[in-house]
Chains A and B, each alone.
Chain A
Amino acid sequence: MVKLILRKQEYEVRPGMTLLDALKKNNILPEGVICTRDSELIAEDEILKDGDVIKLIAAISGG
């Protein structure tokens, strides 16, 4: 499985799908996050592999 982590929330998706599809499947807007794997930025057409841990970093800030 592939794990997506956004702040304290974790999501699991099946390997083989694109990052964009994984975000959409979990109702996460790609416009609101930057995605990293092993601290490297990855684009949304990246195919996710079994065991991947994708850290999502929220872009929106306020104040």
Chain B
Amino acid sequence: MKCRICGQKAVVNMRQHKLALCKDHYLEWIPEQTERFIEKYKMFTREEKVLVAVSGGKDSLSLWDILQRLGVQADGLYICLGIDGPMSPTGEGLSYSSESQRLTEKFADERSLKLHIVDVQKEYGATIPQFALKSHRGRGKPCSVCGLVKRHVMNRIARDFGYDVLATGHNLDDEAAVLFGNTLTWAGEYLLRQGPVLPGTPGLARKVKPLCRIYEREMLAYALLRGIEYIYDECPFSVGSTSIYYKQLLNRLESDRPGAKQSFYLSFLEARKSGLFAEREEIQAELHLCPKCGQPTSAPGLCSFCRMMSR
């Protein structure tokens, strides 16, 4: 298989694009595509301050790398969740958080990038697994609590440090899996909110997903070819998760029909744009400000995060 651009030996073949590329051209192609989607979906301008949420995984570190290569001034935010030690259900991942933090700090240090670190236990008094034990959310699994805490911290840091935009490393497989789950249950409100850009509201920075059109496998290839050290082990709590199951199902479909994942996601975005669903404004609930943390919340009184913290 030869690189379509130079004819040298290809190292990555993307069947959905009918495109094979050598290492050098692949490493040019990914940032070009990312820049294209940043512009297409009007994610941010060069004048805006960008905060990248980094987990130590391949996608978020690669996103930070790509933004640097594109000349975007982007700082990082790492949230230490405290997923270390014997509380993990499989007995594995004993140093998941500490190792992912080490890799993130190393990445930032080597490139002289600014990194905010928030240690959930130090700032809020408990690790994510400890919060999950106290909370009724998620029936003992910490993923729901983890999402709630991460959203709160990301919004807080973006607001406190004046960032206009919060960028996350969600790739097309992440988006297609979420879409698949929401479609199976016709979760209308979630379907309306899903997209490359979640507009900002007073108190909440705009959220953008610059990798939303790039397959997860392609992001892995990018991280490997760029020599980015990332945490390979799964979060121990994600083993057997529904999102991973949906990704596997979609990959089976993709194997038989190259481009199926991409088509699923893109036709959803098109359908929404052309009015298949109600406009978001029509059903959007009035937002209130949480009297404790000041972040927007859908009902009057404390937000979900502050309610959990007060228990």
B198 contacts the other chain (Cβ, under 8 Å)? no
In the complex, the answer to whether A32 meets B241 with C-beta atoms within 8 Å is: no
Chain B interface extent, by class: 35 or more
Q: How many A-B contacts at CB < 8 Å in the complex?
A: 74
How many chain A residues touch the partner (CB < 8 A)? Answer: 19
Q: How far is the CB of B236 from chain A (nearest CB, A)?
A: 9
A41 contacts the other chain (Cβ, under 8 Å)? yes
Query: Given the complex, which residues of B lie within 8 Å of A59, measured CB to CB?
Result: 173, 216-217, 219-220
A33 contacts the other chain (Cβ, under 8 Å)? yes
Query: Given the complex, which residues of A lie within 8 Å of B10, measured CB to CB?
Result: 43
Query: Given the complex, which residues of B lie within 8 Å of A31, measured CB to CB?
Result: 215, 217, 251, 254-255
How many Å lie between the Cα of A30 and that of B57 in the bound state?
21
Q: How far is the CB of A45 from chain B (nearest CB, A)?
A: 5
Query: Given the complex, which residues of B lie within 8 Å of A61, measured CB to CB?
Result: 57-59, 216, 234, 238, 244
Using CB atoms and an 8 Å cutoff, list the residues of chain B in contact with chain A: 1, 9-13, 20, 23, 55, 57-59, 143, 146, 173, 215-217, 219-221, 224-225, 232, 234-235, 237-238, 241, 243-244, 247-248, 251-252, 254-255
Additional 4 contacts, C-beta under 8 A, given A29-B252, A63-B143? A31-B251, A34-B221, A60-B173, A60-B251
Q: Which 5 A-B pairs have the closest CB atoms?
A: A63-B235, A62-B238, A63-B238, A41-B11, A31-B251
